[in-house]
């Protein structure tokens, strides 16, 4: 229903990033404002999109052309690849668990 707004003018990497981070409030507000859903349905949609933001992306891409879907999937995959690295660096002070294990073994 709102896919045309998402795809208007091509893929917006900022929008994809916000969806990836779970910032789905704009989309939930659009659903709520449409008048097509009850309050309890909007709450369930909100909960679902917050717990699984990829489901919102999948919904938005449901009527997109094949190339747009591929570009969005590639961007999402790049976000998936970068996220664990950032967490690992923060979690162990800049060293990955693999490097820390290897240095202990070598020593």
pLDDT along the chain (107 residues), means of 10: 54 88 94 96 96 94 90 92 56 46 41
Helix or strand run (H / E) with residue 93:
none
Q: What is the residue extent of each domain of the chain?
A: 20-60, 63-107
- pTM of the predicted protein model: 0.67
pLDDT confidence of residue 51:
96
Neighbours of 65 (CB within 10 A): 10
Q: What integer pLDDT is reported at residue 81 of this predicted model?
A: 87
What's the confidence (pLDDT) of residue 7?
55
Structure tokens at 89: 């660096």
DSSP state of 66: H
DSSP structure class, residue 18: H
Q: Computed over its alpha carbons, how large is the radius of gyration of the chain?
A: 18
Surface-to-core class of residue 9, CB atoms within 10 Å of its CB (0-12 exposed, 13-18 middle, 19+ buried): exposed
């Amino acid at each position: 229903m709102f896919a045309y707004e998402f795809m208007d003018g091509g893929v917006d990497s900022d929008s994809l990033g916000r969806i990836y981070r779970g910032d789905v409030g704009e989309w939930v507000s659009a659903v709520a404002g449409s008048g097509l859903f009850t309050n309890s349905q909007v709450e369930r949609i909100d909960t679902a999109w917050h717990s699984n933001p990829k489901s919102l992306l999948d919904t938005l891409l449901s009527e997109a052309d094949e190339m747009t879907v591929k570009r969005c999937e590639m961007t999402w995959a790049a976000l998936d690849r970068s996220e664990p690295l950032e967490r690992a660096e923060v979690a162990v002070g800049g060293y990955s668990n693999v490097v820390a294990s290897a240095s202990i073994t070598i020593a």
